[in-house]
Amino acid sequence: MTDLTRKTADELARSLASKEVSSVEVTQALVDRIGAVDGQIHAFLHVDAEGALATAADVDARRANGEQLSYLAGVPIAVKDVLATKGLPTTCGSKMLDGWIPPYDATVTAKIKAAGLPILGKTNMDEFAMGSSTEHSAYGPTHNPWDTTRIPGGSGGGSAAAVAAFEAPLAIGTDTGGSIRQPGALTGTVGVKPTYGGVSRYGLVAMASSLDQAGPVTRTVLDAALLHELIAGHDPMDSTSIPDAVPAVVAAARRADVKGLRIGIVKELGGEGFQPGVEARFNEAVELLTSAGAEVVEVSIPSLKYALGAYYLVMPSEASSNLAKFDAMRYGVRVPPAGVDDPSAEQVMASSRDAGFGDEVKRRIILGTYALSSGYYDAYYGSAQKVRTVLSRDFTAAFAGVDLLVSPTSPTTAYPLGDKLDDPLAMYLGDVATIPANLIGIPGLSLPVGLADEDDLPVGLQFLAPQKADDRLYNAAAALERLLEDKWGGTLLSRAPELEVAR
């Protein structure tokens, strides 16, 4: 019998539709796989085998009854722990929310449940999605399935690692500055940040409201498109949700044709700071696109040099305000100050926030508090918001000449756990290629394009498209994926080392 855990979501959907396999069988196989390997990976913070199997059984019964089901009905999924799941713990990787069980579902969660996808559990993440390595989880780091001594990227390292380690065919990630795409690159998986407003943020515990966006984490471009189509669409509960129709991403992924497309290489996202093995794989991939009929040109976006600075002002500013609600009054851990008799609410708030938040969260809250404070607002937050306008204008100009832009997703491959733990600036630099898309709301996709020669670790290529043109990403990425797999004679993940299986 074939290993169900290795199948793509599309393959599973077809097998389920033809009743070749049942959802219970698929779900059980994945639950078993999680039990066997997650001790080494720690992709999950919470596994809900019982709930997932119940959903699977229900879907199987409904299918047996001849009910018309969603295409992905019965295909299990993992959900990043930053999305509210009614009845399932939602901690955001923070001690602050230890044990919190939301009384409501995020819109993305509701769509998944309505479509009948068994939810395997909640995946690990940097605390409140603040970090690029998943080492800033209060519950311990996630390990990269390619080398368990290394980071899986972050903040959505849990979702990426779960998919890469065949613990789930599909996962939901969220991306504020690259948290879907960068872990995708570092684990050899596909990750997509949709256009801002394309997927509802209702129930996504906010880090930075104007940057956050949920999206698919998968092993193939088509799977990503299928999941994208499922979770996207207008939501009246999210005021920033786009009222337009969802771009035809699945059709685009099936089209997979770059002939005649104009693709721009972003000059500023390469060179210094980019690992040679990353650049080599990136350049080869671009050559493949050229060979398939795309016209590739170099594009310069000079304002990119301000993007990282703008991001590390806007994001902490919004985060400092968004995280103010965690004050131990209505929910969350309440930790009274030590040695204070009869403390006041103010004192309990301050001590609880000290005890409940980790270092990276506190650092960003303090930084954001500073950037918004009177006397500094114009210089920091205000200037950063202007950078977004300039950057947006520059990208609009660039997209006037090309259909898509490309760059490496991350300047480096996965680094060893602990390497940049005490050097936040070094960690922040790893986001240089992914953050521009968040600042200006455009969609981005990371596709694995090979292994770096120096460390045999995955490299990702990022496609960027104009707002609401998410379908362009899927078309081009699916084309490149096919070209690469033809060249490799299989998927990249099939070359990942086998994990030791616990019994």
Partner 1 sequence: MSEPVTGISRDDVVHLAGLARIDLSDAELDHLATELPAILEHVASVQEAAGDDVPAMSHPVPVDNVFREDVVRPSLAPEDALAAAPASDQQRFLVPKILGES
Partner 2 sequence: MTTETLVPFDEALTRYDPVMGLEIHIELNTATKMFCGCPTEFGAEPNTQVCPVCLALPGALPVVNAKAVESAIRMGLALNCEIAEWCRFARKNYFYPDMPKNFQTSQYDEPIAFDGWVDVEVDGETFRIEIERAHMEDDTGKALHVGGSTGRIHGADFSLVDYNRAGIPLIEIVTRTIEVPPEKAPAVARAYVSYVRDLIGGLGVSDVRMDQGSLRADVNLSLKPKGSTVLGTRSETKNVNSFRSVERAVRFEISRHAGILDAGGKVVQETRHFQEDTGTTLPGREKSDADDYRYFPEPDLAPVSPSREWVEELRATLPEPPAVRRARLQADWGFSDLDMRDTIGAGALDLIVATVEAGTTPQAAKKWWLGEMARRANESGHDIDALGITPEQVAEIQGLIDAGRINDKLARSVFDGVIAGEGTAEEVVVARKLEVVSDDGALGAAVDRAIEGDPDAAQKIRGGNLGVAGALIGAVMKEMRGQADAGRVRELILEKLS
Mark the segment that binds partner 1 (CB under 8 A) among 20-28, 55-63, 181-189, 328-336.
328-336
Residue 205: which of partner 2, partner 1, none does it interact with, CB under 5 to 8 A by kind? partner 2
Q: Which residues of 251-290 are buried (b: 16+ CB within 10 A; e: fewer)?
A: ebbbebbbeebebbbbebbbeeebbebbbbbbebbbebbe
Q: Rounded distance, CA 11 to CA 71, Å?
A: 11
Range list of β-strands (E), 62-209: 77-80, 119-123, 170-174, 190-193
Tell whether residue 363 is a contact of partner 1 (CB under 8 A).
yes
Q: Rounded distance, CA 431 to CA 428, Å?
A: 6
Nearer to partner 1, 447 or 473 (CB): 473
Residue 83: which of partner 2, partner 1, none does it interact with, CB under 5 to 8 A by kind? partner 2
Residue 379: which of partner 2, partner 1, none does it interact with, CB under 5 to 8 A by kind? partner 1
Nearer to partner 1, 300 or 389 (CB): 389
How many angstroms separate the Cα of 122 from the Cα of each of 153, 162, 172, 193, 427? Answer: 17, 10, 9, 19, 25
How many angstroms separate the Cα of 268 from the Cα of each of 301, 359, 408, 433, 492? Answer: 7, 31, 11, 9, 28
Q: Rounded distance, CA 359 to CA 363, Å?
A: 6
Shortest CB 339 distance to partner 1, Å: 12
Tell whether residue 204 is a contact of partner 1 (CB under 8 A).
no
Helix (H) or strand (E) holding 390: helix 383-401
Selected binder of partner 1 within 51, 337, 455, 482 (CB under 8 A): 337
Mark the segment that binds partner 1 (CB under 8 A) among 153-161, 162-170, 385-393, 475-483.
385-393
Residue 206: which of partner 2, partner 1, none does it interact with, CB under 5 to 8 A by kind? partner 2
Selected binder of partner 1 within 243, 260, 271, 489 (CB under 8 A): 243
Q: Say how many CA atoms lie within 13 Å of 388 toward its Cβ.
A: 20
Nearer to partner 2, 96 or 230 (CB): 96
Tell whether residue 384 is a contact of partner 1 (CB under 8 A).
yes
The residues annotated as belonging to the active site are 80, 155, 179
DSSP track, 4-51: GGGS-HHHHHHHHHTTSS-HHHHHHHHHHHHHHHHHHH--EEEE-HHH
Nearer to partner 2, 107 or 148 (CB): 107
Amino acid at position 48, single letter: D
Shortest CB 227 distance to partner 1, Å: 21
Shortest CB 371 distance to partner 1, Å: 8
Shortest CB 273 distance to partner 2, Å: 30
Shortest CB 98 distance to partner 2, Å: 13
Mark the segment that binds partner 1 (CB under 8 A) among 4-12, 29-37, 345-353, 444-452.
345-353
Mark the segment that binds partner 1 (CB under 8 A) among 269-277, 352-360, 410-418, 450-458.
352-360
At residue 358, the 3 state secondary structure works out as coil
The gap between the terminal CA atoms of the chain, to the nearest Å, is 20
